[in-house]
Amino acid sequence: MNNPTCNVSLVPDWQWAVMTILQEARSQTLDGMIGVAEVIRDRTKSKFYSNGTVISTVLWPYQFSGWNTKDPNREICGKMELDNPLVIMAIRAWRIANNNFTSLTGGALFYHASSMNPFPDWATSGEVEKTTQIQDHIFYRKVTPDVPNRII
């Protein structure tokens, strides 16, 4: 049944963000989860691999590995209960990143696990620079090539 007065998503944006945070950073501390939340927030806001919605940001192909077809984290996180302490922490991380507009990652739009060997090509391309490392995630922001030392 179509109700034109009802503007409620079956799965609200905050839940897509929280599921992604859990898939990507459930082994991290609160700061690690906030770092992933910031990347989701900033990509959504800037429409970077996104149409400007959280769902398009997190489901953009090959951007958040937890949503890749064969990644086991999709099912693991999909089965988690709302009262699970990790879920509660991920919800808190998302709220903090959005309500307080934190900047633990220095405007990062990219990250990868420090255990990756070799690092992804984009991380060593010269088009990004490392902003910080939070636990086992290394965060990067894009370097504007036409303006020296200007970071976006």
Say what the pLDDT of residue 9 is. 78
Quote the DSSP letter at residue 134: E
Place of tokens 């255990």: 115
pTM recorded for the entire structure: 0.88
Tell me how far apart the alpha carbons of residues 16 and 83 are, in angstroms, rounded to a whole number. Answer: 17
- Helix/strand/coil for 35: helix
Q: What is the pLDDT of residues 79-126, one digit of tens each?
A: 999 999 999 999 999 999 999 889 999 999 999 999 999 999 999 999
Rounded CA gap, 40 and 35, in Å? 9
Torsion, CA 91, CA 94, CA 98, CA 104, rounded to 10: 140
Residue pLDDT, tens place only, 53-85: 999 999 999 999 999 999 999 999 989 999 999
Shortest CA distance to 88 belongs to which of 31, 30, 41?
30
